A and B are shown apart, each in its own frame.
Chain A
């Protein structure tokens, strides 16, 4: 794949038109947190029939599973499928990357985990309403004392009590936490063993369960259109119907598979930020005049533009490669997804910072939009594994060959 197809471009233009009409006018309300992102995301889904598509592919997958056929890997991909999921991500990230975090966590992580490890009943009950955007999903691993060392340091516990489990613990930095209807919650089985050796269990929890507290959104640097909060659980009782199967390799392994999806997705997000910053920067370089010439005539400004273009080409190629691999049904290794995420996140962050610089004082002002993208893009280097963690994954893979 060297460029988007005609259909892809039609999808892109249609989504772009919708974003101009529906998202841009609401940007201030999204940024202040006054407007949670979910109604807009639902409207996006409904407008383009993505809810119906999700519903029918869900039923098709479930029917296949019930009839005993083993589902193909990468079911959601298919021909146009990969581009169809990437293009809205890219376009939304030009305006409000937080919308994509809010969307991606519910669909990719929360629903994704249930679809991989749930029983048909669990899928129907919890994953379907997430896949159609009817409900809001969260995916909770991180704790105050365990971020990068997610599983080692995990302190949340589940204790068996008769047929039920009693869950205790706290989670933080949870995307959609404040508004989630459905929470995929990771904790350790308290069976008296050393905490580091305990089995990881994954539960599906509902808003309003006794003992479950979802805090208000935390104040943060950027990504304001994605509400992030804390969860506190004290003696939350969950039946076995809420426990997801451990699957091969257990909860850890399935979380790792999620990392691959999530990290590859960050490249598409980065591409949106880069394309927008580059477009705005070129326009500005052509119109802002100093010393009787456009600033684009200064070589130091040209260097910034050229580097942005190099980043755009590289990240676009990574996105195209990811789409091609999905089409070919070839899974991406964790190390490759990590490399992709590391490069794309750093590129987006750097490009956005340089865009602020190129705009001078205007760049520091909200009206010119690049400062928001710069704050938003910084998050790419932290969530879904920090830059440093990506580096350790890439290096570990190289050294183990």
Chain B
């Protein structure tokens, strides 16, 4: 089974994140880069599928040179090899362009199944799975919290507001996962030492057959027009319990339509 897992490096949610004032893109140099949290679940699921059905796990990352840290970590967890799509021409790409660039890279790696997180912690558009499956012309299974593979059939449970859907598709397919799907492993010490020796292929626009006119900030279909800092958190409201604390809580929740 040829399993490709999409891994995005994002700024650590623990550190302050900001957009650059000149071009309204994310200041990726300002914060420590980490693997997008949901992508760790995607990696784990990819490894589990490999362990159960055999095959190879390839990490595919589009991002600046610094993203190699995240690639190494994914390899340390147990992925076999990686493709790093890196080119100045890709900087500032929006979701539509990212899906195009990844589609082109997938054309080189081939795939039976593409696994990705259901959303990133930085941009949070949550659209990549849908865009990719459309471009690739393969079924999409999004928000999966359980995946089973049976021959060329893939069965999954999708999280919904009312519970879950059971869906089935044939491979090849694109699957996005939620954190309930598994518990990502820590990289073993041996895995960490081995990661250094695993192949990482670096692709530029030309190598991946990406049309430079279709990617990058200047050609994006969307534009960040304006942005503002999140308002500082206002001080909470203190209510003294005079025997009617319970009623006051219920009143508050009802006023906010929580109950």
Contacts and interface: CB of A to CB of B under 8 A. Distances in A.
Interface of A: 6-7, 10-11, 14, 17-18, 47-50, 52-53, 80, 84
Interface string B66-93: 0000001100100000000000000000
Nearest to A47: B186
Contacts of B190: 49, 52-53
B213 to A, nearest CB: 37
10 smallest CB-CB distances across A and B, nearest first, come from A49-B188, A10-B192, A48-B189, A14-B186, A49-B190, A48-B188, A47-B186, A14-B187, A84-B189, A11-B192
A286 B197 CA distance: 42
20 contacts: A7-B192, A7-B195, A7-B196, A10-B76, A11-B192, A14-B192, A18-B186, A47-B185, A47-B188, A48-B188, A48-B189, A49-B188, A49-B189, A49-B190, A52-B188, A52-B190, A53-B189, A80-B189, A80-B193, A84-B189
A52 B189 CA distance: 10
Secondary structure of the A contact surface, majority rule: helix
A202 to B, nearest CB: 31
Contact of A49 (B72, B73, B191, B195): B191
**Which size bracket describes the interface of B in this complex?**
10 to 19
Secondary structure of the B contact surface, majority rule: helix
B186 A11 contact: no
Report which residue of B76, B185, B192, B193 has the largest number of chain A beta carbons within 10 angstroms of its beta carbon: B192
A48 B195 CA distance: 14
Contacts, number: 38
Nearest to A44: B186
Interface string B175-209: 00000000001111111110110000000000000
A10 B76 CA distance: 9
Given A10-B192, A14-B186, A18-B186, 12 more contacts: A6-B72, A7-B195, A10-B195, A14-B76, A47-B185, A48-B186, A49-B188, A49-B189, A49-B191, A50-B189, A52-B190, A53-B189
Contacts of A10: 72-73, 76, 187, 192, 195
Nearest to A13: B73
